[in-house]
Amino acid sequence: MDVHPFVPADIEAALGRRYIIDSEIAIGGQGAVFKATRASRPDGTAANDVVALKLYLYASQDSRVQREISAMENISHPALARLIEHGHCGVAGRPTRYVAWEFIEGESLGDRLESGPLPEFEVLPIGSDVSAAIAELWSRRLVHGDVKPSNIMLRPSGGAVLIDLGAARDLEQDHTLAARQPFGTVGYLSPEQAVGGTLSCASDIFSLGVVMLQSLLGQHPTDYDQNALAGGIRASGRKLPVSTGLLSTLDTMLSVRTTFRPSPAALSSYFQGLQQRT
């Protein structure tokens, strides 16, 4: 079982009583995440933000954390979690990096899939929202780099939110946007990402295609075998009770050739139209 040294009372004291810690959301090797309410901003002005407060254990995580912060500091989009605040503090004498994100009510797609496959009418809005998020990131020349079920939150009111940009890459900082070494999650990497090739929004679209096909099947299409994704995979031909339009679109998303994959903006619009017809 993962453990961490963060006690709610110590966190509240470290942050000057500006945060009220509610409950622990997640524990991992990197640290812990708490649901909390931010009562005031660093300048002392009143606030009332419900946040997911991440506290990191190790300074070695700083570059990953900074990538996520840099990616999201000036972005506001309904399908992307909003950055609220970040900084450093001392929790019970331990130097700690913290980041407060908009708290997304609901469950992750990964948790939802534990109950079985999703029908087309539930998968289409996920595809529409996540591709819109990818389009917003790409408009700033950012590649998410880790699109997978656990990084997609489903709101109870409907809609999906793409979270966790710790693997994001910025074209302005790396003009070739080459991965150099594979990063992301095995089983969801695009063929070019898996070999450290040049990336673009098409890489995120491939990963989204894997996620959507997994959602329809109720299981990962290659049982997380990254090698089986190297030549691209096909959704058509599988026995799925979905429209031919969705299957053929998934085929293009999962193409080994990046130029065959649709643009994220066009994809979001197409999925919205398909929703209206199903």
Element (H, E) at 203: helix 201-217
pTM: 0.89
Q: Give the Cα separation of 56 and 62 in Å (integer).
A: 9
CB 32 within 8 A of CB 53: no
pLDDT in tens, 10-63: 999 999 999 999 999 888 767 889 999 999 999 999 999 999 999 998 888 788
Among residues 99, 65, 62, the alpha carbon closest in space to that of 84 is found at 99
Domains of the chain: 8-102 (3.30.200.20), 107-277 (1.10.510.10)
In terms of phi and psi (left: phi > 0; alpha: psi -120 to 50; beta: otherwise), the region of 189 is beta
CA angle 122, 124, 128 (to 5 degrees): 130
pLDDT in tens, 136-182: 999 988 899 999 999 999 999 889 999 987 666 665 555 444 545 56
Q: Dmax over Cα atoms in the chain, in whole Å? A: 60
pLDDT in tens, 48-105: 999 999 999 888 878 878 878 887 888 889 999 999 999 999 998 889 999 999 999 9
- Return the number of other C-beta atoms located less than 10 Å from residue 39's C-beta: 14
